Amino acid sequence: MKLSGNTIFITGGGSGIGRGLAEAFHQRGNKVIIAGRRRGHLDEVIAANPGMDAVELDIRDLASIERVAAKLIADYPDLNVLINNAGVMEIDQAAGQIDDARMVSTLTTNLMGPIRMTSALIEHLKKNRDPVVAYTSSVLAFVPLAATAVYSSTKAALHSYVMSQRFMLKSSGVRVLEIAPPWVRTDLMNSREAELAMPLDDFIAGTMVQLGTEADEILVEIAKPMRGNPGPGEHGFVDGFNAQMMEVFAG
């Protein structure tokens, strides 16, 4: 995708990867609008980045999505890039009783939210130049983390949806991208100080390089082995990965 001259809407832009992407695009001369549920976080980001705009959005709520989509279409007619980045990640218990409310919240935020957001904006995006729809999934879409089974399944489902949507839009001019981060130092899972996680600045820098190419899947180098999950041999790979991560959590 082109890295400048866009009008870009980013969900979950108040912190973490969403904020990092918003600031990187803002610095390259794009008009950036961020969204999130926490007004204080949004205000902090736009105060640090004059010219950036923000709108409150509850990605779990269809009415909120429809309200924000209508505002975006009215206020930013040149909107041509949507980055579905908002997400939640929590430990669950696939070996026992799943917390139903937490499961529904994760499914609604990570899967239904981006599908609904894109659905609300896709016809508008099609009318503009160089349209792009991007989704932040995870390497856990390819290799599930057993301790976050519901989260991993939402990202696997999102990856599947992205492939279908990319196929369906291939003659429309809309590019459909998937950003699949590795473990990154963000507030997600309290990972700011995690030694094994990738520094956020390094991830954003690598991701921006990849976004500037013709790649449909945006993978920094450290994420590529997870994407290379070896097909029929995946169970051994997944089991080995989870055994390693159980040691990390236990430590």
Residues with active-site annotation: 151
Give the C-alpha separation, 61 to 219, whole Å.
30
Let me know: does 11 contact 37? Beta carbons within 8 Å: no
Q: Which of 50, 82, 53 is nearest to 65 (CA)?
A: 82
Please give the distance of CA 243 from its chain centroid, rounded to a whole number: 26
* C-alpha 91: how far from chain center: 19
Contact 14, 52 (CB under 8 A): no
Helices (H), 83-230: 100-107, 113-126, 149-168, 200-211, 224-227
CB 227 within 8 A of CB 216: no
For residue 59, give the 3-state DSSP assignment.
coil
Mapped onto helix, strand or coil, the DSSP state of residue 91 is: coil
Phi, psi of 55, deg, nearest 5 = -140, 140
Amino acid found at 90: E
**Cα separation, 140 vs 89, whole angstroms:** 11
